[in-house]
Structure 1
Amino acid sequence: MTETAVHELAQVNIARLLAPLDSPRLKDFVDALDPVNGDAEAADGFVWRLVGDAGNATDVPVFGDRWMIVNLSVWRDTDALTAFMYRGRHREMLARRREWFERVEEAMVALWWVPAGRRPTVAEAEARVLHLRAHGPTPYAFTLRTAFPAGASEPATGEAPEGLGCSAVQ
């Protein structure tokens, strides 16, 4: 008998481009987007990913910065996400990320649990990243290195704890 998941893992990864997407500098990155997204969709434990008009999320605004791009997806659990991230084409692209993206000291990646079937929004993802920056890993927003179990205590609404809206870019 298969157990129905109560929670799924949302992940956001935000990056600041070093050049426009149509520049020669980003050609390898752009050329790999569709194959890597296809690998993700075929991966065990993949549930959903944000897709904009371009067929990926490169045209979806994040933090009001036209140089930032967002990857927002949902996975079965941290094991499924980790297995995808560090294998195959995605691993190769991770190794080259400094060629395409600014090195940023503040958190640009966050994980959190969502009720199964609910899809997170970019505004929610921005709030989770800001929360992680302000408070470090908590059940509300965490990292693979400091993960929390599904169902850990957090605000019931999916909204940022009081005082942490997502309108301010830090």
Structure 2
Amino acid sequence: MPQLALYTFGVLRSPLADATPLTREFYETGAAVYREIGRHPGYLAHAEPAAGDQGELFGADWGAWGDFAVPAWYDKGRTAETTALAATLSLWTGLRPAFDALYTGLHRAALNRRHDWFERTGHPNHVFWWVSGDVTPTWQDGVSRLEYLRDHGPAPHAFTFQRAFTPDGTPIVVSRRRGPGPAR
């Protein structure tokens, strides 16, 4: 059965190691969001470093999720002291559960604050694609799909909620009121 992969990427206004209240708030909010999303119906898994190293993105062992990777447009630091990014890689049962989890509750509240924490880069900040049930997407898969989305726009290979596709490549619309349906 196909599963939905989601890669998110954002450039932070300050490094993760920054001791400012705003960075602490980002971490605290993120931890609470992950706890809530992890209990959401339709959530399957997300990439976590094997040793649980917070801030050690590039050097961490991510297991089956592969080596940590970022889009070509990221031009800030890559050490624990200088890294200024937030990225996630997760698996979902489908578009509706992902939509419901990301646009409600604590994550919705965090989205409302995103400009406090993230730079406006002009690049896409998330991408979806379908994988077979026995595949674990890698960080490099997410980066490749996000860069494809930026360069070519939404397609069955790489898409967004606004322009989504079924596993067989049929365009669909994800509505706030009803689930996914045919594109018009």
Q: CA deviation at 1:30?
A: 0.4
Q: CA deviation at 1:75?
A: 0.6
Residue 23 of structure 1, aligned match among 8, 19, 27: 19
> What does residue 135 of structure 2 align with?
118
Counterpart secondary structure, 2:165: coil
Letter in 2 for 1:70: A
> What does residue 177 of structure 2 align with?
none
Between 54-63 and 125-134, the greater mean CA deviation after superposition: 54-63
Does residue 65 of structure 2 align to residue 48 of structure 1? no
Give the distance between the partners of 2:39 and 2:15, measured in 1 at CA.
29
Residue 102 of structure 1, aligned match among 119, 122, 125: 119
Large movers: runs of 4+ above 3 Å: 53-59
> What does residue 4 of structure 2 align with?
9
- Cα pair distance change 1:68/1:85, threshold 3 Å: same
Letter in 2 for 1:98: H
Letter in 1 for 2:19: S
**How large is the Cα RMSD of the aligned pairs?**
1.9
Residue 60 of structure 1, aligned match among 45, 57, 68: 57
Structure 2: which 5+ residue stretches go unaligned?
A: 59-68, 77-82, 171-184
Letter in 2 for 1:102: E
Give the distance between the partners of 1:93 and 1:58, measured in 2 at CA.
20
Is the Cα contact below 8 Å between 2:15 and 2:85 reproduced in 1?
no
Counterpart secondary structure, 1:59: coil
Task: Give the TM-score normalised by the residue count of structure 2.
Answer: 0.74
